[in-house]
Amino acid sequence: MKRILSKLAVLLVFANVCITAFAAPQVGTLVRDTILEVPCVVYLPHNYAERAHDGSRRGFPVLYLQHGMFGSENDWSTSGRLLHWMDSLHREDMIAEMIIVMPDNFLGSIPLEERRALMAAPNVTPDGQPFSVEDGQHHWKKLTREQEQAYEMSGYWEEHFPEFMTQVERKYFIDTREKHRAIAGLSMGGFHTMHVSHYLMSSFDYIGLFSPVILPRETTDLVGGKTKPDPKSPYRTVGFDEQLPYSSPAYAHWMEDMRYLGQMPPMYWIAIGRDDFLYDQLQDYRKWLERNHIEYLYYESAGGHTWTNWQDYLCRFLKCCFTRIW
């Protein structure tokens, strides 16, 4: 009898191990990469290697996910807990398998030669205080706030995003049709997302703005395109034309571009917290979208400009992505 019980115990343990192994979700991995000298973190699905060598199947859909001001390519994988959420959503079979590319859109906003000079410069803040750098991040500390914002809103990243995207999609097993592409970002990354998406017309079927910066430093009359000073704006330090020249191809005709984009239309998903300091600006943008009959989805949460909200927005946005490809 003892021998039988012992064998049963062994069988139960073995069965439990097998069930656990079978039920364990297969999750993706994060890899570090550099595309056109822009540091990136790339999320690859668990079956990426298998699919990449299967010539009978198309590539994966891709999400370009951008961080906010004073951030880096690591933000979404650390503060945003991207692996945790991808694991949870895949376990519940709530999202499509996809590649997620998280670039350092701050460094990508700086012209290449100036970027190299910035990265090679001593790690000292504008007021002469030293700091340490890990994994190539925090280079913005070498700039004043005004300098950093000037780069972020110069249009350089938007103008060079087509080349960046082309290199990414050559290197990874990606389906390059627009219905298999998404782009999203938080705060300043939302600003880049907005302008990349209309500048590269018809390139993305899914666009996500999380607590986005819409306009720089001064409030814009969205009907006539004129500007008026807004002393309360945290982005206003110098004149509008000095910091965001509308001569940049990425910004020159954004209103006309948005009206044309609204005729397609992609899934245009916007979210913000009621206590966010960008809340009022976003409400003005919503009114402009509605006046111009541009469709969008809107989600409003409690709270402000926080990672708790951005994690929530990302999960909700992911559930909506790539629903048109099945």
For residues 155-170, give the mean pLDDT. Answer: 96
Q: Does residue 21 register a pLDDT over 70?
A: no
Confidence tier at 211 by pLDDT (50, 70, 90) = very high
pLDDT for residue 297: 97
DSSP assignments along 176-245, one per residue: -SGGGEEEEEETHHHHHHHHHHHHTTTS-SEEEEES---S-SSEE-TTT--EE--TT-TT-SS-HHHHS-
**Residue 184 exposed, middle or buried by CB count within 10 Å (0-12, 13-18, 19+):** buried
Instruction: Report the C-alpha gap between 140 and 142 in whole angstroms.
Output: 5
Question: Do 80 and 307 form a contact (C-beta atoms < 8 A)?
Answer: yes
- Count the helix, strand and coil residues of the chain and give each as a percent rounded to the nearest 5: 40, 15, 40
pLDDT for residue 262: 87
pLDDT for residue 60: 93
Q: Does residue 107 register a pLDDT over 60?
A: yes
pLDDT for residue 240: 30
Strand 62-66, strand 181-186: pairing = parallel
What confidence tens digit (pLDDT) does each residue in 37-84 have? 999 999 999 989 888 887 657 899 999 999 999 899 999 999 999 999
pLDDT for residue 253: 83
Q: Which of 243, 83, 270, 254 has its CA nearest to residue 186?
A: 270
Instruction: Report the C-alpha gap between 39 and 20 in whole angstroms.
Output: 37
Q: Which of 185, 33, 167 has its CA nearest to residue 105?
A: 185
Question: Do 185 and 102 form a contact (C-beta atoms < 8 A)?
Answer: no
Q: Which of 292, 250, 295 has its CA nearest to residue 268?
A: 295
Among the residue ranges 34-43, 72-81, 125-134, 173-182, the one predicted with the least confidence is 125-134
For residues 237-243, give the mean pLDDT. Answer: 34
Q: Scan for tokens 């994994």, then name that residue.
A: 135
Question: Do 152 and 106 form a contact (C-beta atoms < 8 A)?
Answer: yes
Give me 37's structure tokens.
């000298």
Q: Which residue has the higher pLDDT, 158 or 154?
A: 158
pLDDT for residue 234: 40
